[in-house]
């Protein structure tokens, strides 16, 4: 077992949130997702535009696409990576802090612009 302070827990949560969002949604990482799926926006019954995924390739490639399109799925793996970095790579702490600051800024920005 290891000792985890509240501030470190918050940093890990925010870093995990931001890295997950970066992988699943952000345009800058679309090169990671493009080989596995394409996103189309189609209207639903009420006329709202919803995301529709067109997965590419065979079974393995489609499985990776389904994984990369799911923020819950990527979040588990990112969480494991973040905890591993925190526990075993102390030099990664500045990166975790940077991701946490960006994650907190994203949450604040979302709250400001959703009002």
pLDDT the model gives residue 104 = 97
The predicted-structure confidence for 35-92, as pLDDT tens digits, reads as follows 999 999 999 999 999 999 999 999 999 999 999 999 999 999 999 999 999 999 999 9
pLDDT the model gives residue 111 = 85
Instruction: Decide: helix, strand or coil at residue 33.
Output: helix
Are the beta carbons of 56 and 36 closer than 8 angstroms?
yes
């Amino acid at each position: 077992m290891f000792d985890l302070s509240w501030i470190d827990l918050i940093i890990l949560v925010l870093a995990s949130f931001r890295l997950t969002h970066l992988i699943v949604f952000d345009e800058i990482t679309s090169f990671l997702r493009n080989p596995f799926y394409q996103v189309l926006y189609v209207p639903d019954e009420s006329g709202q535009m919803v995301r529709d995924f067109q997965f590419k390739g065979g079974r393995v490639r489609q499985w990776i696409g389904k994984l990369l399109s799911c923020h819950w799925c990527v979040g588990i793996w990112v969480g494991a990576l973040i905890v591993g970095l925190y526990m075993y790579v102390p030099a990664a702490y500045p990166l975790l802090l940077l991701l946490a600051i960006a994650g907190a800024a994203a949450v604040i920005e979302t709250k400001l612009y959703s009002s």
